[in-house]
């Protein structure tokens, strides 16, 4: 690791100013990617701007003042906070489950939502939730739709020095996330989120390709028939998939269908459980 100047700002404006004044600055959130690359001397920023002291980028809240209920999560919210938050569990439970399956306890207690999303690792879990739930990404300069944000492997629409400050998730009608994890890293060889939203069925795939993407063929099939069998004949093109020592492109393409079917099965089970609960409540009221 090379020498660097360390900064710990307490406001977004201060962080951006320090970045702009640095010769080659880097923002630091959880540090799970940046710190290892610095240790290996693959990255050598002149200035490290630690965001952990900025309270405006922390916290989990809900907004009910518009036509749509929104879950607002600060970019510095740690995975464990997202996983255990009662607000997340009540509004977007799929996000709580997804965060609880990231890495191990040490990773979940240090890694942040914003750091993961801004890093845009092809095998990260959060991008599937951001794209699958059609979240809004708020920076110090603007608000971006999920469709605009992810550009390619480790590449986003963030401009030089632009800082992701929070992510706003609309409440889905129902959603499920299923992944096939690498047994060592717990990164997704393939992770797939299926959601019923106000905009229709959305299917987001992570881990399979250079960046998260929507599976249009699956969305069309599930719009016509929301069932596990609707996906039986769908196989995404292997030519668009990653191929490495962990899994071939063909295997990842196959996993996309399997994970999608498991996610749909989970949503169908949720719907059936809710229907039974409603029936039970109606029966109880009529007999009381």
Domain count, the chain: 2
**Do 120 and 33 touch, CB atoms closer than 8 A?**
no
DSSP symbol at 123:
T
Mean pLDDT along residues 204-215: 97
Which residue shows structure tokens 């914003």? Answer: 114
Residue 284 forms part of a structural domain: no
Domain harbouring 17, CATH code? 3.30.43.10
Residue 172 lies in a domain: yes
Residue 81 lies in a domain: yes
pLDDT reported for residue 77: 97
pTM of the model: 0.93
Exposed, middle or buried, 89 (CB in 10 Å: 0-12/13-18/19+)? Answer: middle
The whole-number average pLDDT for the span 191-214 is 96
Instruction: State the DSSP code for 55.
Output: G
Could you tell me if 270 and 260 are in contact, meaning their C-beta atoms sit under 8 angstroms apart? Answer: no
Quote the CA–CA distance of 80 and 16 in Å, as a whole number.
27
pLDDT digits (tens, 9 = 90+) for 129-154: 999 999 999 999 999 999 999 999 99
Domain that holds residue 109: 58-276
Other C-beta atoms closer than 10 Å to the C-beta of 279 total 10
């Amino acid at each position: 690791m090379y020498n660097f100047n360390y900064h710990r700002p307490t406001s977004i404006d201060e962080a951006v100013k320090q970045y702009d004044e640095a010769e080659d600055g880097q923002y630091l959130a959880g540090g799970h990617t940046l710190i290892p690359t610095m240790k290996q001397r693959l990255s050598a920023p002149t200035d490290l701007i630690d965001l952990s002291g900025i309270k405006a980028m922390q916290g989990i809240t809900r907004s009910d003042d518009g036509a749509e209920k929104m879950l607002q999560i600060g970019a510095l919210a740690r995975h464990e906070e997202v996983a255990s938050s009662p607000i997340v569990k009540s509004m977007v439970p799929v996000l709580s489950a997804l965060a609880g399956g990231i890495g191990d306890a040490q990773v979940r207690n240090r890694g942040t939502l914003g750091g993961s999303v801004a890093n845009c690792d092809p095998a990260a879990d959060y991008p599937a939730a951001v794209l699958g739930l059609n979240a809004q990404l708020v920076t110090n300069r603007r608000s971006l739709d999920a469709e605009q944000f992810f550009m390619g492997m480790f590449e986003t629409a963030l401009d030089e020095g632009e800082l992701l400050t929070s992510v706003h998730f609309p409440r889905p009608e129902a959603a499920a996330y299923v992944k096939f994890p690498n047994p060592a890293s717990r990164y997704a060889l393939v992770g797939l989120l299926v959601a019923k939203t106000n905009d229709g069925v959305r299917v987001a795939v992570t881990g399979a390709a250079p960046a998260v993407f929507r599976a249009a063929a699956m969305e069309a099939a599930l719009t016509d028939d929301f069932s596990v069998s609707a996906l039986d004949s769908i196989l995404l093109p292997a030519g668009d998939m990653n191929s490495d020592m962990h899994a071939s492109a063909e295997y990842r393409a196959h996993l996309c269908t399997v994970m999608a079917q498991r996610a749909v099965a989970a949503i169908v089970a949720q719907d059936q459980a809710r229907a039974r609960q409603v029936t039970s409540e109606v029966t109880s009221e009529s007999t009381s």
